[in-house]
């Protein structure tokens, strides 16, 4: 890193959607985001430390690259499993069921518009991976 990039932090993620209110509603209802601004073409959602901008795709088809996703981390296996259970009960599309991974337990789901969401924990990561996580 350089002196310039040492202080850099994530500012926002911007993702397209064919249905901005539905996608923003998913983030609000299921991922603890707060909608702070609504315009004709975008909603701005807040998370501690960064924003998520959901922008209308317009006439552009949305084609997500293979395995492109955004990940959210929870502090425990139980918390990940609880959210997985809630997603299933709420009819959220589950792309990959809850499973133990060497880097920690996780599952994948799709938000309205097709964005792939990973929910994971590092609490049960295998020993070789524990030292690889930064602060």
pLDDT for 132: 64
Q: What is the pLDDT of residues 81-133, one digit of tens each?
A: 999 999 999 999 999 999 999 999 999 999 998 999 999 999 999 988 776 66
The answer on 134 and 80 residing in a single domain is yes
pLDDT at residue 135 above 60? no
Is residue 62 in a domain?
Answer: no
CB 88 within 8 A of CB 94: yes
CATH of the domain at 31: 3.10.180.10
Residues 6+ apart with CB under 8 A from 126: 102, 103
The answer to whether the pTM exceeds 0.85 is yes
Structurally, the chain folds into a number of domains equal to: 2
Tell me which of 104 and 2 has the higher pLDDT: 104
The answer on 79 and 51 residing in a single domain is no
Containing structural domain, residue 89: 67-135
Phi-psi region of 104 (alpha: psi -120 to 50; beta: other; left: phi over 0): left
Is residue 129 in a domain?
Answer: yes
Phi-psi region of 53 (alpha: psi -120 to 50; beta: other; left: phi over 0): beta
Is residue 78 in a domain?
Answer: yes
């Amino acid at each position: 890193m350089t002196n310039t990039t040492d202080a850099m932090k994530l500012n926002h993620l911007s993702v397209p959607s064919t249905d901005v209110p539905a996608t923003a509603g998913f983030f609000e209802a299921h991922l603890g985001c707060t909608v702070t601004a609504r315009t004709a073409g975008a909603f701005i959602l807040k998370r501690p430390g960064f924003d998520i901008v959901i922008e209308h795709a317009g006439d552009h088809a949305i084609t997500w690259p293979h395995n492109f996703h955004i990940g959210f981390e929870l502090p425990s296996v139980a918390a990940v499993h609880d959210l997985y259970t809630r997603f299933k009960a709420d009819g959220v599309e589950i792309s990959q069921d809850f499973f133990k991974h060497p880097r920690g337990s996780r599952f994948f789901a799709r938000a309205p518009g097709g964005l792939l969401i990973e929910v994971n924990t590092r609490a049960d990561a295998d020993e070789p991976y524990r030292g690889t996580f930064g602060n």
